[in-house]
Structure 1
Amino acid sequence: MDTDYKLDDAQWRTLLEGVAAQFDELTIMRGFQYYKQGRVEELELRDDGYAHARVKDNRVCEVAVRLDELGDSTCTCPLDRGCQHMVAALLRYAELCGRPIQAIVNARSALRTSGDKTAASSNASGSGRNDGTDTPGRGAADGVRSGASGTGTDALPWADAPGTGRSAPPTSSRPLRPAFTEQDLSELPVANWHERFQQRRGPLHLNVRTAQEANDLLADLHAMRPELPYALEQLFSLHALCFVLERMVKPAQADWRQSGFFMGFHTQNAMESLIGSARTLLEERLALGSEASAYWGRLLETADFLRERMLTEDKTLNCFAALHASLWLHWLAPASAGSEALYEEELRKLRAAEQELGKALSLLPWTLAQCLLLIYLERDKEAWSLLAAGGGKLMLGPGPLMPLLDVIGRAEQWERLRGWLAATGPLLAGFRGEDLAPYGDYWTAVVERLPEAEASMWDTLAAMLPFSRVIYEEALTAHGKWERWMDYQMSSGQDPLSFRVAVFKPIEKEAPELLLPFYHQAVERYVLQKNRDGYKAAVKLLKRLAKLYVRLKREERWAQFLSAFASRNSRLRALQEELRKGGLLS
């Protein structure tokens, strides 16, 4: 670590307080995502008290963070307030100083928790009620406790919670708000977590429509928790995000006027930010060792929670489907907490859901979830059959398919990946251009490792035409298959002038004779248009042909062709004029 990067405890506390004051929860989450993606470059601590950094976004943003007064920080991005680029730079700075970055991520909730505890302590001392049961790490996040029983047991600060057997505290002038202890979160099912989230929020204002409302609700939920072991904190943070997402998704699905793609613009943006934050959280290493963990039951309930919502959400939202996929791709992957028995059990639950939900079943995420588990279990043919059975009803696109291919690609199982590419290619018919680019990249990677897979690649891409045109042409160019490339352009009636000149440079160098029929065919088409623009285009190609014949040392043949061409079209006076302007006729 660079010796210039030092923070004493007082400076660290000041920095955390500044972060909590200057940045909202969503901005912090976005900044954390940028930091995790390695977008912070060239961070430098200067004598002027600023930390300067470059943060990559759609463009490179120049950030100058004033460490002792964050409000004076600047960034070249369009935002006129604290932005995610500043947060990312601060996280990198904290890392270089050897300080925990999670403290910055949780700065707002920690500040609110501290404030609530101070207020509660003040209320308790004013009323003379203090039974000495407040122990660190076990109290509710807002510090409100009831000691009326004198038993030394924490009482819940709300009316009878389902399944707890605990009674409400005495009535007071200030209503007490629900919170959690570590024991609550360890023992209560996650369904009860969400019940308490809703009790804390109250019956009003449960619909979330903007980023600010989402931020306020998320901060309020985090104020419910005490200091927690990191594994339990991860689970709590995920469910807090899910609770806020449900407040957005349920009203959108219930109201036909703003369902699916017609969700309000600001609501859509806020939802996407929350999904991004949740996926970033799920991409972190799960701090839960095995089934012996005290929180294993909460993890399995989380899987059930996400599955239930994924299987019934509107297909245009892809909200809980994305989180369910991330859960099994990361926290429950074979390299983390996953196991063969767990995958078999999840498969059983998914298949049972088909009968239970009937037509309400969301088919695509249901199918993809099974395919991922079958990949983990190395039952690829079963997964292919499942995808093929869905057929056109699935509307399978490259985006949903890529995470499955990523699993096999990261494992470098190239022969297996070849089978997946060949099996899924025909299912992607209907998608064009950039959508299929990642699929084409996987074929490139496979053929580099397995040259014998090239024939399978050509067969698959050719069968996907015309939708695979872009990646098919790119593959032909990369492998120097000029004759096949030219056959495809001529058979599909392509115009040579629609290509950049640079496209033909390698062909002119390696196989110039292939361009002759392509240019000649186009010249005849232009002449048949019988207008001035067509004649100009024909002359432009004829000049290219002249150069090609010289390169091939066939000048005599060119002279014969040009003479015959001019004679055959002698009655087209406009064409004759263009030929003379182009220097082809004297």
Structure 2
Amino acid sequence: MIKSIETMNIAEWHALFGSRTAILSDHIRNAAFVQAALAAIHQIKPGLAPERDRFFELHAHLHILLLLLHLAPNQALRPGAFIGFHTHTAISEVQLKITGILQNKPETAEGTADRQLLTETLSFLRRQMLIETGDKAYFSDSYFGLWHCWIGPDQPQSQLYLEELQHLKEAPSQLTSALSRCPWLLAQAWMNFFLRRDQEALALLAEINSGFGLRGSDLFPLLSAMAEAGEWQRLLEWLAETAPLMERQKLNSLELFYGFWDGVIAHIPHAEQQMWGPLFRLSPSIYEQKLLMHGKWQQWMDYQLSTGTDPFAYRVGVFAPIEKHAPELLLPFYHQAAESYVLLKNRAGYKSAVKLLKRLAKLYKKRKDEERWETFIAAFASRHSRLRALQEELRKGKLIP
């Protein structure tokens, strides 16, 4: 007797998907392949209850992801295996579809059938995740997405997380040399996070960082979960603990990391003091941005003066809030830079110096300190009276008669 799709388990679904897509085995793996595979699977799809339909669609896309990677369900991708541009594009599109399916959370189901589907889905994704190698997390994102979107929000009890930790502890003996240690450690960190065993989770992340190099994508879903739940004190503690793990991260990851700090500071203002020390060491450029964002005009200007920054390295708009709140801080900045340009002793340098001197004139006028300006510019012109080209530029700029 042929089993109906409604009563099949996950393994039987994938066997059916395989029979439906076998005709495409010689096709190029690209966006057209994805559409053809989906069409072949959907041709035999019956009407399903909404919750079961979501599982069906999730596994249909997971199966196509396996096909794009040229994998059988229990086969690991070889390290360094080549994936062409069009295949990589198709993989990215399928992963986005999977993310969308996971974000469309099913209703809480108490039925045995739906619980069984969830258990089997976890088992399927756990295995795929634990045999992944290399930098690309093709199935790890789906595994963590399932926990975060479909399981995490509705599990006040800890039983599922404890059971998953047990499955993960048994994985090394089951998978032996096929086990990929990095996602294995990360999965345990996630389960400990959901169990609110934060120190255990943080220790696992530190182990990943020392052995493999922690990726921002390994940490950010956890930080996002705390921000979404409004757990600002807990998030603050995590940010402080994980800042040392960000040392080898790229600028865009650091920007995302310190975006979480902005959220915390908005709710816990005194947390700002904990941000500055690690930030200065990790990224001077973000440090500068945050100084401006938090109105630390004096510290920002001290940093510019100490590093000899050229004012022309910034758009004029950057100085607008300083001109409004603390215009006196710009005076030494422009004075120092103008003198530096004069020392170049060429026409281009003199032109730049005059531009800065004109900014100074406006600042002194805004401060109603024209007398001090007149004294300065007269002394400046006299001191550099032998630089004929500079004198010409000063006159062109209408700074001296």
Q: Same fold (TM over 0.5)?
A: yes
3-state secondary structure, aligned to 2:353: helix
Deviations 1:384-430 (A, max 9, x none): 22222222544434444321111111111111011111122232234
Separation in 2 of the partners of 1:370 and 1:577? 71
Q: Tell me, yes or no, if the aligned pair for 1:222 and 1:237 is still in contact at 8 Å.
A: no
Q: Would the alpha carbon gap of residues 581 and 450 (structure 1) be closer, same or farther in structure 2, given more than 3 Å must change?
A: same
Question: Residue 370 of structure 1 aligns with which residue?
Answer: 188
More helix per residue: 1 or 2?
2
Question: Residue 419 of structure 1 aligns with which residue?
Answer: 237
* Aligned: 1:388 with 2:206: yes
Q: Tell me, yes or no, if the aligned pair for 1:211 and 1:267 is still in contact at 8 Å.
A: yes
2:339 to 520, 524, 528: 524
Counting only pairs closer than 5 Å after superposition, residues 190-269 of structure 1 correspond to structure 2 as: 190-202=10-22, 205=25, 209-250=29-70, 253-254=77-78, 256=80, 259=82, 263-269=83-89
1:461 counterpart letter in structure 2? L
Separation in 1 of the partners of 2:282 and 2:94? 36
Q: Tell me, yes or no, if the aligned pair for 2:364 and 2:370 is still in contact at 8 Å.
A: yes
Q: Would the alpha carbon gap of residues 571 and 312 (structure 1) be closer, same or farther in structure 2, given more than 3 Å must change?
A: farther
1:509 counterpart letter in structure 2? K
Question: Residue 182 of structure 1 aligns with which residue?
Answer: 6
3-state secondary structure, aligned to 1:529: coil
Counting only pairs closer than 5 Å after superposition, residues 492-507 of structure 1 correspond to structure 2 as: 492-507=307-322
Q: Which has the higher contact order (CA 8 A, sep 6+)?
A: 2
TM-score computed with the length of structure 2 as normaliser: 0.88
Separation in 2 of the partners of 1:362 and 1:556? 73
Q: Would the alpha carbon gap of residues 237 and 359 (structure 1) be closer, same or farther in structure 2, given more than 3 Å must change?
A: same
1:346 to 156, 164, 167: 164
Separation in 2 of the partners of 1:344 and 1:180? 33
Q: Would the alpha carbon gap of residues 585 and 351 (structure 1) be closer, same or farther in structure 2, given more than 3 Å must change?
A: farther
Q: Tell me, yes or no, if the aligned pair for 2:79 and 2:134 is still in contact at 8 Å.
A: no
CA displacement at 1:340 relative to structure 2: 1.0
When Rg is computed on C-alpha atoms for both structures, the one with the higher figure is: 1
Q: Would the alpha carbon gap of residues 218 and 355 (structure 1) be closer, same or farther in structure 2, given more than 3 Å must change?
A: same
CA displacement at 1:436 relative to structure 2: 3.4
* Aligned: 1:327 with 2:146: yes
Deviations 1:493-521 (A, max 9, x none): 32212222222122122211111111122
Q: Can you give the 5+ residue segments of structure 1 that lack an aligned partner in the other structure?
A: 1-154, 157-178
TM-score computed with the length of structure 1 as normaliser: 0.62
Counting only pairs closer than 5 Å after superposition, residues 149-164 of structure 1 correspond to structure 2 as: 155-156=1-2
Q: Can you give the 5+ residue segments of structure 2 that lack an aligned partner in the other structure?
A: none
Q: Tell me, yes or no, if the aligned pair for 2:130 and 2:179 is still in contact at 8 Å.
A: yes
Question: Residue 360 of structure 2 aligns with which residue?
Answer: 545
Question: Residue 438 of structure 1 aligns with which residue?
Answer: 256
Matched residues, percent identical?
Answer: 44
2:379 to 558, 564, 568: 564
CA displacement at 1:303 relative to structure 2: 0.9
1:350 counterpart letter in structure 2? L
Q: Tell me, yes or no, if the aligned pair for 2:51 and 2:106 is still in contact at 8 Å.
A: yes
Question: Residue 280 of structure 1 aligns with which residue?
Answer: 100
Q: Would the alpha carbon gap of residues 367 and 549 (structure 1) be closer, same or farther in structure 2, given more than 3 Å must change?
A: farther
